[in-house]
Amino acid sequence: MPLVPTGSIVAGAHAAGTGAAAFNVIHLETAEALVAAADATGIPLILQISENCVRYHGSLLPLTRATLALAEAARADVSVHLDHITDPDLIRQGVEAGVGSVMIDASTLPYAQNVETTARLTAWCHEREVFVEAELGEVGGKDGVHAPGVRTDPDEALAFVAATGVDALAVAVGSSHAMRERTAKLDLELIRTLRDKLPVPLVLHGSSGVPDDELRAAIEAGMTKINISTHLVSVFTDGVRKVLEADPALIDSRKYVAPAREAVRSEAARLLDLLGGAGREKEKTSGEAP
């Protein structure tokens, strides 16, 4: 089907009170697995390509074009998003290539500079009908350090959204990037406050470290876009490791990558049901006779 705008996926989830799943692409095999999961469940999915991923591959276009092609061929609604982009040139390249959204990450800059940079790039993206996410301050753990004490101030967040015109805001509510254990405890009351105060959907980064029940509780409290990367990377790596441990002499990479890809497809499908399937349950419940 035609490529779906990220904004429509986020808006649909926001209106339904469900989660908009956003899973990171690391290489072609993970992109294939994620699209297969979306097709199997019929639940919309946002495919994310980060600046770190671009650096790994050496350039933005090859993987981005391949991911766009997979999204366009999907039976489910799939969009492509650039994640944690600090380089304006990469934003321009991605938008020109056809991505539907970008996360402008000027969060490490002083507040005034963050606002100015984000507002300028947001205006440029909006002229091209591209959905924009941003981050105020830093969600903890960007270098793998668990920083659960970081929190978003609701008043500052409201001022930031008004000054920049962004379409969604990543907020710090207790999650942390690159967590390998799913032990994070979220500040649900802060999520409710931010939901009530801000006119845009909320984004949860560092969701790999959040247990299933906390993710569902976060969505019920008002979180919309749910980013997951490290957890699915671990699933892929564990799949490769199991095959190679069972057959150390194996040299055909397809024979150990294919099972890892299937493991990611299976777990991604489970997560899609967890995050995006809640709305279906609500619809079934509301449609039942009292």
Q: What is the CATH number of the domain that holds 33?
A: 3.20.20.70
Q: How far apart are CA 33 and CA 23, in angstroms?
A: 11
Q: Please state, as a whole number, how many other Cβ atoms lie within 10 Å of the Cβ of residue 69.
A: 15
Q: How far apart are CA 188 and CA 22, in angstroms?
A: 20
Asked if the structure places residue 15 within a domain, the reply is: yes
Q: How far apart are CA 225 and CA 240, in angstroms?
A: 29
Written as tens digits, the pLDDT of the chain (290 aa) is 678 999 999 999 999 999 999 999 999 999 999 999 999 999 999 999 999 999 999 999 999 999 999 999 999 999 999 999 999 999 999 999 999 999 999 988 888 999 999 999 999 999 999 999 998 865 544 443 235 567 888 999 999 999 999 999 999 887 555 445 555 668 899 999 999 999 999 999 877 778 888 899 999 999 999 999 999 999 999 999 999 999 999 999 999 999 999 999 999 999 999 999 754 444 444 444 33
Asked if the structure places residue 244 within a domain, the reply is: yes
Q: Among candidates 17, 99, 112, 115, which has minimal Cα distance to 51?
A: 99
Q: How far apart are CA 271 and CA 283, in angstroms?
A: 19
Max Cα-Cα span within the chain: 62
Is 187 marked active-site?
no
CA-CA-CA-CA torsion sign (223, 224, 225, 227): positive
**From 83, 105, 167, 187, the catalytic residue:** 83
Give the tokens for residue 285: 């419940």
Mention every residue, 6+ apart, whose C-beta is less than 8 A from residue 70: 31, 32, 35, 47, 78
pTM above 0.95, yes or no: no
Q: Find residue 280's DSSP bridge partners.
A: none
Q: How far apart are CA 78 and CA 74, in angstroms?
A: 7
Asked if the structure places residue 160 within a domain, the reply is: yes
Predicted local distance difference test score (pLDDT) of residue 173: 86
Number of domains in the chain: 1
Three-class SS state of 107: coil
Radius of gyration from C-alpha coordinates of the chain: 18
Predicted local distance difference test score (pLDDT) of residue 178: 46
Predicted local distance difference test score (pLDDT) of residue 206: 78
Asked if the structure places residue 32 within a domain, the reply is: yes
Q: Among candidates 223, 221, 183, 217, which has minimal Cα distance to 202?
A: 223
Q: Is the backbone of residue 141 left (phi > 0), alpha (psi -120 to 50) or beta?
A: left
Predicted local distance difference test score (pLDDT) of residue 278: 55
Predicted local distance difference test score (pLDDT) of residue 1: 63
Strands (E) located in the chain: 20-24, 45-50, 78-85, 101-104, 131-135, 168-170, 202-204, 223-228
Asked if the structure places residue 1 within a domain, the reply is: no
Three-class SS state of 225: strand
Predicted local distance difference test score (pLDDT) of residue 145: 29
Question: DSSP label at 45?
Answer: E
Q: Find residue 170's DSSP bridge partners.
A: 135, 203
CA quadruple 90, 85, 47, 153: dihedral, nearest 10: -150
Q: How far apart are CA 241 and CA 244, in angstroms?
A: 5
Q: Which domain does 202 fall in, by range?
A: 6-287
